[in-house]
Chain A
């Protein structure tokens, strides 16, 4: 038999899988078919792009149509010309970025000198942040620099982030910061 190395590895892997599942004493085929059906009948299918490195691998995302409408599966997009369906260990785990009980469900607040976080509402948090931003801007906005040149900049605030934002979010974030007069603006690209 004339087998290339690649083919040989593929074949060995298949044999290994067959042996492994063979030991279970039942035929796996119906379960695989059942799983496929679940994705098709009970889930909405959308495409996305992986959130980790910048290769930009295509993903297929299945979201349950009933219940909590949560994500039930993420896999490589076989139509995508870069990854052609494959994903690395991180990309294959992308489902856990989203479906993860360690995520923080609500805003939290740590008061000065306090030793703990306190859960707060979005309205309370955003109202208070807006007040702090305005107060800082009003107190530290320099219309002119030491040489008397017009600079219109807020010197008491800085911002970092973020390459984790979408393009459209990056754009509005920079507009938001620059309208407030920030010049100390940096993010991941610098480090």
Chain B
């Protein structure tokens, strides 16, 4: 989230699209209701009339997977009706930039497209060099402040969406034209200085082959309306797990190291080469270009892992990925399915139910030599070898199940969706013999270190030189010590920015990190979370100034990255003089001497720096030349779709999306005529691994169901309560039919399209009698977004028949 949960109350228009907070983030709804009490409108756009829709002021249905068309229509509506925030767009976004002559977009494809080569998992690849901005002699982007230049971003944007008329959008999304107009009109009303609109989205937007572009399209709308940086605005991802924000910040992902630093590539053989590759250079004195600090963060990370090792040497030890290659989830399971891995950790995760195309994941595990599964309860992954269609006597995989402690039984911090790092204390001691995940990791590490110290082994240096002593005390794993290490401390007496520090002192904030090895910091974004003043995440002080209280900022409650800034890009909430666009809900204000309110995005005087400090040029990116599938979002059909053609271009699907060559897909296939998506319910969570084992919750929702419209149920002769089979080209599950008005057939390209929906909380392993059913992910495809590889589990084609 750019903003945070409480801030939703400051919104005049809360758009909920690609999420269902009433069911899945129920307590957040408190703040939506506060916004409504203040006169704000709740707008729900969802294929299904959800619990959120039932409390909304405005509801519009749409077909699964057509969000870019819906949002593209909104962009056109804003531009046609002159509803954008002119000063903000001109001064704070790249709308004025001139794009080079090589950029082109013709019939659904951008310039620079090359078709798939044999060894790639992507449909193709773009040469992004063709989408660059025109620069002046100093290397600063040329701008046309009048926005008249035919190749300025603003005019390219207009041209790009000129075809997204209400009628055409409606034909694609199935949303009635009048509903489109109502949503557009209401949300676009926030383009005024004293109004703010927010977006709350979740996996309903990410899990598509156009997932990133769904979010890009919305971010562009928020920039056009001046809604980024302000109270009640922003782009807000409702993260689904209590610490998925933290686990992402600490980068348990192939492509990034803690603090969103890049995983080194094989061609970057030295630390200098690596830093040079990822440190952007801007010659514009008004661009803060914050990432120019990259080497300070990368060196401090290396020193946190290897405090006693020279930084250049430590860099050499880091594993490198090959240039031009990706190593993401779907590829991992594809590779595993080919038998390429020997060992596997499935730590606090249940891929046999959560992975798209789950039967492929289940088969893949049988190709391993060994697997370690860490969890609270036995589950479909740990016990995969005795699952459906498995013959244990033919499965070689050696499996270790390690039972971990529950969250209440340990101390440590987690980071919520609003980036608040909150400390948890230990309640009861660990159950039975269970150990915390931290203890398990440390005890495993200590054994490996013993082995590498005492037995012959390959390349022992990175294992033996880890600053492992900084992770523990005499009782082993110690969360407080690691929290201090993540913040970072001084490794020697030194002076930074005119301030003297002693060895061992905590680094007060990332402004004091250095690239010479004098500081360590496990994650620069968390530097300032555990200072010499103590553990900031544990703070429970509700004190705030009147200005802070007005927007519910709570700066002294817990801690928020970066540097306790509660609303990101808040320099965009004020004009060039530092005065808030919206005097009723100011986030920051320049008093003439200093900033008051939230922690500003840099302390420079107003107007002296461009507000989007994490961007090289300092501007919000309406034109995004860094995306794999183009600088502007395009409507493409999902990999599996009920239609044969795309109304907007000749290109049916995202040409650069990820899919695997040997897999088949249902495209306008009469055998799989219904569009399907997965979702969640209030009483269950994710694969249900935890909630199915909790009696109170299982009783409330005991088994797999499928929601079917009355119209489709009539055609299929199915009544509520009937057992039906739902099948895709990859597999089938049984489900109890729930015949409902929540889903209705939509008119798409003059044809009736039926949609059905399934929760994905169930699995064969528990309840043990099989009464729960199995995972909806047995039906979903191994198709991924080209930027992230996130699987397309929110649109696929199925058939439904009586079981």
Contacts and interface: CB of A to CB of B under 8 A. Distances in A.
Contacts of A188: 240-241, 244, 247, 349, 354, 686
Nearest to A149: B266
A153 B319 contact: yes
B52 interface: no
Please name the 9 residue pairs, one residue from A and one from B, whose CB atoms are nearest each other, closest first: A56-B416, A162-B348, A166-B412, A161-B347, A105-B432, A88-B26, A130-B447, A163-B244, A164-B348
A149 B265 CA distance: 10
A147 B693 CA distance: 50
A184 B412 CA distance: 26
Interface stretch (A9-17, A23-31, A69-77): A69-77
Contacts of A169: 412, 436-438, 441, 479
B434 interface: yes
Interface string A112-149: 11110100001001111111111011111101010101
B329 interface: yes
B575 to A, nearest CB: 30
B474 interface: no
A172 interface: yes
5 contacts: A97-B376, A115-B386, A157-B344, A161-B349, A187-B252
Interface in B744-803: 766, 788-791, 793
Contacts of B700: 89
Contacts of A69: 428-429
Greatest chain B CB density within 10 A among A158, A162, A169 is at: A169
A168 B343 CA distance: 24
What is the size category of the interface that chain B forms with chain A? 35 or more
Contacts of B397: 110, 112
Interface string B285-320: 000000000000000000001000000000011111
A66 to B, nearest CB: 12
B641 interface: no
Contacts of A115: 386, 392-393
A83 B30 contact: yes
B685 interface: yes
A110 to B, nearest CB: 4
Nearest to B364: A158
B184 interface: no
B27 interface: yes
Given A181-B319, A189-B244, A174 B252 contact: yes
Interface string B376-420: 111000110110000011111111111100111110111111101
B499 interface: no
A96 B696 CA distance: 8
Contacts of A52: 241-242, 685
Interface in B440-482: 440-445, 447-448, 451-452, 455, 457-459, 462-463, 466, 471, 477, 479, 482
A189 B343 contact: no
Interface stretch (B54-62, B122-130, B366-374): B366-374
A162 B448 CA distance: 21
Contacts of B348: 161-165
B319 A163 contact: no
Interface string B507-543: 0000000000000001100100000000000001010
A157 B343 contact: yes
A20 interface: no
A168 B424 CA distance: 12
A105 B401 CA distance: 11
A contact face: mostly helix, strand, loop, or mixed: mixed
A127 B446 CA distance: 10
Contacts of A113: 392-396
B427 A71 contact: yes
A165 B243 contact: yes
Contacts of A131: 451
A189 B483 contact: no
Contacts of B250: 167, 170-171, 174
Contacts of A100: 376-377, 693-694
Given A149-B266, A171-B486, A180-B463, A91 B697 contact: no
A69 B430 CA distance: 10
B530 to A, nearest CB: 10
A126 B126 CA distance: 46
Interface in A28-71: 44, 46-58, 61-63, 69-71
A183 B254 contact: yes
Interface of A: 44, 46-58, 61-63, 69-71, 74, 79, 81-84, 86-91, 93-94, 96-98, 100, 102-115, 117, 122, 125-134, 136-141, 143, 145, 147, 149-191
Given A105-B432, A187-B349, A96 B695 contact: yes
Contacts of A154: 319
A90 B540 contact: no
A187 B789 CA distance: 12
A30 to B, nearest CB: 26
A47 B412 CA distance: 12
Contacts of B246: 163, 166-167, 170
B27 A83 contact: yes
B422 interface: yes
B251 interface: yes
Interface string B671-705: 00000000000111110001101111100100000
Given A83-B27, A104-B401, A178-B319, A166 B344 contact: no
B425 A104 contact: no
B451 A104 contact: no
B271 interface: no
B244 A107 contact: no
Contact of A171 (B239, B242, B523, B557): B523
B243 A50 contact: no
Contacts of B552: 81
Contacts of A89: 26, 682-683, 697, 700
Nearest to B438: A169
B220 interface: no
Contacts of B335: 158, 184
A56 B420 contact: yes
A172 B416 contact: no
Interface in B350-374: 351, 354-356, 369-370, 372, 374
B646 interface: no
Greatest chain A CB density within 10 A among B248, B266, B686 is at: B266
A73 B451 CA distance: 44
Given A48-B407, A156-B342, A133 B697 contact: no
B27 A55 contact: yes
B202 to A, nearest CB: 9
Contacts of B523: 171
Contact of B242 (A54, A136, A145): A54
A179 B257 CA distance: 13
B477 to A, nearest CB: 7
Nearest to B692: A102
Contact of B238 (A54, A57, A62, A94): A54
Contacts of A96: 694-697
B523 to A, nearest CB: 7
B322 interface: yes
Contacts of B245: 54
B451 A164 contact: no
B321 A153 contact: yes
B327 A175 contact: no
A137 to B, nearest CB: 7
A83 B374 CA distance: 30
Nearest to A154: B319
Contact of A103 (B5, B434, B463, B542): B434
B426 interface: yes
Contact of A63 (B24, B322, B428): B428
